[in-house]
Amino acid sequence: MNKSNQYFTKDQEQIARFAKALGHPVRIAILQLLHSQTCCYHGDMAEELPIAKSTLSQHLNELKDAGLIKGDITPPTVKYCINKENWETAQNLFSSLFGNISLNDSCDN
C-alpha cells in the first residue's frame, strides 16, 4: 500500500492533483481557451498561445493526465475539450476546500 494513502483521503489527493495541473499560467490559458469554445484543435491553440508546439503539448498532457481535459486523436488532427465530469468534480472539491477554511481561523500578524 502506498504510504500517502494511509495519511491522506482520496479527496485530498485528488485536490492536490488538480491543483498541480492548474499550477502554471499556460494551463490556465489553455482551459480558458477551451472553455470559450466547444473544442479546440491542437494547431489552433498553438496559434492562440505564445509558446512552442512542443511546450503546448507538454501542458496539454499535464491537463489530460489530471483528467481536466480530454483529447480526440484522429490523425492527423488532435482535438481537445474540457472533461465536464472531472471539471465538475474539481469545482466541488475546491468549493468544499475553500468553504471549510474560515478567515476567522487565519493568523493575523
Give me the pLDDT at residue 1, please: 45
Please answer whether residues 67 and 60 qualify as being in contact, where contact means their C-beta atoms are separated by less than 8 angstroms: no
11-88 adopts what CATH topology? Answer: Arc Repressor Mutant, subunit A (1.10.10)
How confident is the model over 19-43, as a mean pLDDT? 92
Query: In 1-109, which residue ranges form alpha helices assigned H by DSSP?
Result: 3-7, 10-21, 25-35, 42-48, 53-65, 84-99
The ranges assigned to domains in the chain are 11-88
What's the average model confidence in pLDDT over 79-86? 94
Per cent of the chain over pLDDT 90 is 59
pTM given for the model:
0.82
Residue keyed to cell 475546491: 94
Polymer length of the chain:
109
For residues 49 and 33, is the Cβ–Cβ distance under 8 A?
A: yes
59-72 pLDDT, tens per residue? 999 999 999 999 88
**b/e per residue, 33-52, with b = 16+ CB within 10 A?**
ebeeeeebebeebbeebebe
Give the confidence band of 10 by pLDDT, cuts at 50, 70, 90.
Answer: very high
